Structure 1
Amino acid sequence: MKLKDILIQLERYAPKELAQDWDNVGLLIGEPDRVAKKVLIALDAGAMGIDYAIEHGYDLILTHHPLIFQPLRNISNPNIIKMIEHKIALISMHTNFDAAIGGVNHALANALDLEVIEPLGDSAKKELGLLCHADSPQNLNELSEKVKENLNVPRLRLWTAGRDDDARYLRIAICGGAGGASLALAEEKADIFISGDLSYHSFLDSSIPIIDAGHFYTEYPALEKLAELLIPTGLESFVLPQNLHEWHNFIRYY
C-alpha cells in the first residue's frame, strides 16, 4: 500500500489539523508513492526500534513522537540516516492523535479499567483529557498499585495534596503524556488526577492528589489504537514492546 494512502487512512481518525502549530506530523521520511508492506508501531523512532525493523523486514515505522521536529540544516542524526539507508519510511501521529476523540486518553482509560464519563474540556473536536469513574472508591495506595501494575511503571510520583491516607476517590481525571495543561480542568471536575510529566509548580499548586506515571507509560497503551487504525489497510503490523524502547530500557531510578 502506498504511504500516502496509509496516511489518508490514519488521518481520517486524527486529522493533521488537530495538531499543535509547533508539531511535525504526517509522512516524515519516504516518498508518498512508495509502497509499504510491514509496519512497526512505536512511541519513538529510536535506535533499538530501527534495528528491530531492519532485522525483521519492516519498511514503515509508525510513531507517536516525531523523530524530526524542527527544519533540518543537515542530515546528521544517525537514526534518520539509518532509516534512509535501509529504505524505512516514517509516519508520526503526535498531537493530532493526542487530540483525537477516542485516542491516547481513551487508551489510557481502558488500560486502567476506568469508565469514561466525559471529556475534561468543552471542545467537541479536541480531547484535553477525560473524566472517568473507578468501579469503586479507592484510596491513593490502591490506585497507585493499579497504575503501576497495569501500565508496567517502575516508579510513580505521588502528590497527596494533604489528604489522609484513607481518603477514597471515585472521580478520576486522566491525561496521557504531559498533562500539566489539563490540571486546572481536572481540579474542577475530579477527585484525583492521573497523568505524566507534571512540573514542580503543578504539584505544589494542585488542590487534588496526583499520580504521575510518566510520559512514556501513560502514552504507551495508545500504540494498540494505532495498530487498530491500520486493520482496514490489510498491512502486517506489530507494536514494539516496552523493553525495546530506549526510555524503558535505559532509564534508571535510585
Structure 2
Amino acid sequence: MRTARVQDLLGLLHGWYPPDQAEEWDNVGLQVGEATAAVEKLMIALDPSAAAVAAASAAGARLLVTHHPLLFKPLRRLTPDDPVGGVIWTAVRDGVAIAAAHTNLDVAADGLNRWLAARLDLLEAVPLQPAVGHLVKLAVFVPTAHAESVADALFAGGAGQIGAYDQCSFRVAGTGTFRPGPGTAPFIGEAGRREQVEEVRLETIVPQRRLPRVLEKMLKAHPYEEVAYDLVPLANELPGVGLGRIGRLAEPVALAAFAARVKAALGCSSLRLVGVPERTVAKVAVCGGSGAGLIHEARRRGAEVLVTGDVKYHEARLAEDLGIALLDAGHFATERLAVEELAERFRAGAAERGWRLDVVVFEGDRDPFVVY
C-alpha cells in the first residue's frame, strides 16, 4: 500500500464534485496547504473552525476536508488574532491542509441533496433546479483512415461521457477540400494544389474543465498540420445534477407527522413549521443549508412542502401566500449528514486505489443555535 498525497485526495474529491459545477461566487478546492504533502490520516468536518483544525492536528490528520470554505474573499492581512487568519496560521504551523467541497457538493448527482432526500425516504427524487451548461460539443474533421486513432485520443482525454455511458461519438463521412499554402508541409497533397480527401466528421461531448487536455490529445493524434474543428457551448441539463431534490413519500402523511419524522431523521432538537399542521403532504422538496430561494421553484414543481434551513420572516410569508408548507430544520442539521457520507466515499476510494489512509470525522461540530 502507498501513502496518498493531498493532490491525490483532491483528485478524488474533484472527480466526484467537479469545481466547475460550483457557483461563481464560491471558493472550493484547496484553501490552505501543500498539494504534494503526504496524508496518512484525513479528517472530515462541516466547518473549517479553529476547533476542527486543532482536532485534525492533534489526531495527526494532514488534510481537513470541509463542506464550508474557509476563504470566500481575499484577505487584507494575515494575523493570528483574526478569526480566519488564526485558522490559517494554525493550519500552516501544524501542517494541516484545508480543502472544501461546497456548492459543487450541493448540486452533485451523488451529493448532499441526494443524501438528504434519501435520509427522508423520498422516492423517485430528482434535482429540484437542474443544472445546465459546463459541456462543449467538439466536432473535428479527420481523414477516414485516422478516425479511430483520433477518437481514441479524445476518449483518453475525457471526452465522450454521457451519464453512465462513455466513448460516445457520432460520425458522418464526407469530402474535405483544402489547398496548402507556400511553406507548408501537408500530410496529404502538395503546396499550391487543391486537394479532395475522404474525411469523417467526428463529434463528441466534452466537459468544459477537460477541454484543454482533450484538445491537446486530439491535436497530437491528428495527422494534419492544421486541424479543422468546431467548439459549440451547450446548454444541456447535466444528468442528475442540480440544486435541491424533489420526490414523493411512500404514503401521504399529515404535515405535523412528517415534521416529526424529519426531526428524528436529521437529529435536530427543534424545527420551525410554516403551514397547517393537519395538512396532508406527499410531494416533498428538499434543499440542504439555505434553500428558501427555491420556494417558487418548489411550488411550480408541485411540492407541498419544502425542507430546508435559514428561512427568513418574509420568505415564510411568501410560502404562506403560495400555499406551500416549509420545514426549517436549520442549516446545520440539513448539511451535517454530508460529513459521514464524505468519509465513507473517501474510505472506499482509498481502498480501491490501495492507499494507506485513515479517515475520521470531526466529532466537535455543533449547531451554533441553542433553543430554549
Using structure 1 for the length normalisation, give the TM-score. 0.92
Structure with more of its chain in helix, by fraction: 1
Mapped partners of 1:237, 1:122: distance in 2: 32
Residue 4 (structure 1) aligns with: 7
In 1, the alpha carbon distance for the partners of 2:50 and 2:33 equals 18
Corresponding pairs, count: 247
Distance 1:60 1:142, change over 3 A: same
1:59 to 2:62 alignment: yes
Distance apart, 1:229 and its partner CA: 2.8
Tell me what 1:83 maps to. 91
| 2:183 equivalent in structure 1 | none
Instruction: Tell me, yes or no, if the aligned pair for 2:285 and 2:303 is still in contact at 8 Å.
Output: yes
Deviation at 1:222, TM superposition (A): 1.6
Q: Secondary structure at the match of 1:120?
A: strand
Q: What letter corresponds to residue 232 of structure 1 in structure 2?
A: G
Task: Give the Cα–Cα distance (whole angstroms) in 2 for the partners of residues 108 and 35 of structure 1.
Answer: 33
Match of 2:259 among 144, 147, 154: 144
Is 1:195 matched with 2:314? no
Task: State the distance in 2 between where 1:141 and 1:193 align.
Answer: 13
Higher strand share: 2
Alignment counterpart, residue 181 of structure 1, candidates 290, 293, 296: 293
Point out where structure 2 has 5 or more consecutive residues left out of the alignment.
80-84, 132-236
State whether structure 2 residue 104 is matched by structure 1 residue 96: yes
Please tell me whether residue 45 in structure 1 is matched to residue 160 in structure 2: no
Equivalence for 2:29 = 26
Contact conserved, 2:117 with 2:125, CA < 8 A, in 1? no
- Equivalent residue in structure 2 for 1:127, among 231, 242, 262: 242
Structure ID, larger Rg: 2
RMSD of equivalent CA atoms: 1.5
Are the counterparts in 2 of residues 121 and 129 from structure 1 also a CA contact under 8 Å? Answer: yes
Check if 1:253 corresponds to 2:360. no
Identify the residue that residue 359 of structure 2 maps to in structure 1.
237
Check conservation: 2:106, 2:244, Cα contact below 8 A. Answer: no
| Structure 1, gaps ≥5 residues long | none
Report SS of the residue matched to 1:129.
strand
Question: Partners of 1:215 and 1:116 in 2: how far apart?
Answer: 24
Q: Distance in 2 between matches of 1:192 and 1:40?
A: 35
